[in-house]
Amino acid sequence: MTLAERLAAAMARIPATDLLTGDGVEPHEIMATPTAAAVLVPVTDRAEPGVLLTQRTETLRNHAGQIAFPGGRADPGDVDLVATALREAEEEIGLSPATVTVVGLADRYRTVTGFEVTPIVGVIPPDLTLTPAEAEVADLFEVPLSFLLDPAHHHRVSAPWRGRTRHFYEILWNDRRIWGATAAMIVNLSRRMQWAA
């Protein structure tokens, strides 16, 4: 069975634990009409599969410096959210859509900033030569899929936000802090897949 087939079978399972649907805020704090967005979860096809993540530049208006999957808002020219994720990944990290074997759509996640994000899981060849867009991506790195999917690494934390306490997940990998929507989508993948790479 190929990695793509294993991932597809794992994604089809019914999660044993409730999935996260959105940022932990009050309903009135979330924009009424969300903006459709998609991210690519690029899984490298190697003996120890990994996931490519980006660190956003400090100069971006939204989520500066944060760790994220390549992706962004849907454009009118995108035929669907898969096209959105593939287009954004090509723009942000130079990943050719032709190199991606799309596995499927994962569970949507709604952010307090007004986006409804659909993760698109795809398998890519290992060790591709990629060129991050300097204006958007400060760094590109790979984390073992088994590490990300292990619930032992999913830490629920809290912090003050606009006068109240906000709860969210973070995943610490070496000197990297993956948190917020990206961590929540990883938690959902872990709960959905119930599978270790």
pLDDT, tens only, 110-133: 987 889 999 999 999 999 999 999
Which residue has better confidence, 195 or 85?
Answer: 85
- Between the CA of residue 145 and those of 63, 137, 150, 191, what are the distances in Å? 23, 21, 9, 13
Distance CA 144, CA 11 (A): 18
- Give the tokens for residue 185: 């989508």
Structural domains in the chain, sorted by start: 3-193 (3.90.79.10)
* pLDDT tier at 196, thresholds 50, 70, 90: very low
Q: At what angle do helices 180-193 and 3-11 cross, to 10 degrees?
A: 90
Give mean pLDDT, residues 82-109. 97
Query: Which comes out higher in pLDDT, residue 103 or 180?
Result: 103
pLDDT score at 61: 61
CA 38, CA 43: separation in Å to the nearest integer?
16
- The residue to which tokens 């659909």 are assigned: 118
Residue type, 186: I
pLDDT above 60 (res 27): no
Percent of the chain scored above 90 by pLDDT?
Answer: 70
